[in-house]
Copies of this chain bind each other. A is one copy, B any other.
Amino acid sequence: MDSTREPARGGDARDAKAGKETVRRHNLSLVLRAVHEEGEATRAAVAARVGLTRAAVSSLVEQLLAGGFLTERGKTFSGHAGRPGTALRVADTGPAGLGVEINVDYVSACVVDLAGADRVRLTEEVDNQDARPEEVLARAARIAARALDAAAGKGLDAAGAGLALPGLVSGGAVRQAPNLGWNRVDAGRLFAEALRAAAPGRGEPAVTVDNEANAAALAELWFGGPADAPRLRGFVYLTGEIGVGGALVLDGALLRGAHGFAGEIGHLVVDPDGPRCRCGSHGCLEQYAGQAALLRGAGVAESAGARGVAELEARARRGEPRAVAALERAGRMLGLAVSAAVNLLDPDAVVLGGVFRPLMEWLGPAAERELAARVVSGLWAVGSGRLRASSSSGDAARGAAALVVRGVLADPAGHAPPPAPGARVVSSG
């Protein structure tokens, strides 16, 4: 039967019921996000914040407690769940986000709880350039499965998975990931299949794929900087990996572009006749400031990965001329590419993450001199503080996991429907 031809009779009642359910779902999210943003709040404070009645908030809170989204702090007596004045927090068990970053020389998996805390973390150094995409994704799924096991031991259950990759991502698929050697790989579907095989008991978390710099920039936006300082709402983000990833945050949201491919600052040309890049162009920033170029320039083995970066840092700290020169050259090239982004976008700040973070002491001054010389507005003088290292609290895996958590906060009922009002409230404690 063609449902569009169903008689209209009864439609109003169905619409009203559907409308009521939409409002309930919306209000559940409103209350959950209010508690999330406050960190800790009483029902009265939530009601004042969201503009609903105390009675409505109490009912919604009961549903969120029952669904495992909220807990009560310091609750020592049973039967007092609805007592006014009891502080609510988002649960540190229950719905969580799985985040997985596949990069050229490592895989990182983490599980983030509803409050945004990174509760499980596994990182393995592997060479992902030597394997087919299917093998790399299966390898990542096995690491993710171990993270899910560890999370289950803490009472956390992934409501979805975020997969971050160093490439152009659109509609869940990778269009191109030059440094992985991937071209049109249906990464979302392949990873979901691999995860099903690697973690057969863990349901089928929906997979969202994103560019790794985008995910890292979201982590910086949501978790970066000291908790008491105002967060940056707009910045250009660069992450030093084997390549150089980039992302643009404007007014607290990612600028994704017409097809999802915005932010490719690693492929800004700093020398039109420079060496060929894996993207097909010549003289891209990542040929001068990517991890491989940095290590090579300093005479450290390119294949040394994270140990190589630590070695480069140690040599620069000892003042070894070749290491210092390699970093200054990379800093100049960073400054040149960043000046283009600044002249185009006039951002509040530029944040350098990944391997740039520990190397900022040497990269920063060289980049700042270039910016001071090239930014038209004159707002980027040396020492302006607009060029800064990323915080240590976020990376692409955490950002990808936090995207899943944001989805749960935006629609808790859609992730683990709490019972309808009036159902018995079962304490999770």
Contact = CB atoms under 8 A, between A and B. Distances in A.
A176 B343 CA distance: 13
Nearest to A268: B340
Name A's interface SS. loop
Contacts of A246: 344
B376 A267 contact: yes
Most buried by B among A248, A281, A344: A344
Contacts of A374: 267, 269, 281
B344 A279 contact: no
Contact of A259 (B257, B262, B269, B346): B346
A255 interface: yes
Given A258-B234, A258-B348, A343 B376 contact: no
A45 to B, nearest CB: 27
A271 interface: yes
A178 interface: yes
A344 B345 contact: yes
A260 B346 contact: yes
Given A264-B343, A336-B269, A378 B259 contact: no
Contacts of A258: 234, 346-348
B376 A344 contact: no
A263 B377 contact: no
Interface size, A (range): 35 or more
A261 B340 contact: no
A259 B379 contact: yes
Given A168-B376, A271-B272, A281-B374, A343 B265 contact: yes
A159 interface: no
B255 A250 contact: yes
Contact of A175 (B168, B175, B176, B377): B377
A298 to B, nearest CB: 22
Contacts of A271: 272
A61 B178 CA distance: 60
A261 B379 CA distance: 10
A376 B282 CA distance: 11
B376 A178 contact: yes
14 contacts: A175-B377, A246-B344, A248-B345, A261-B376, A262-B344, A262-B346, A264-B344, A264-B376, A265-B343, A268-B340, A268-B343, A282-B373, A344-B344, A344-B345
Interface of A: 168, 175-176, 178, 234, 246, 248, 250, 255-265, 267-272, 279-282, 336, 339-341, 343-348, 373-374, 376-379
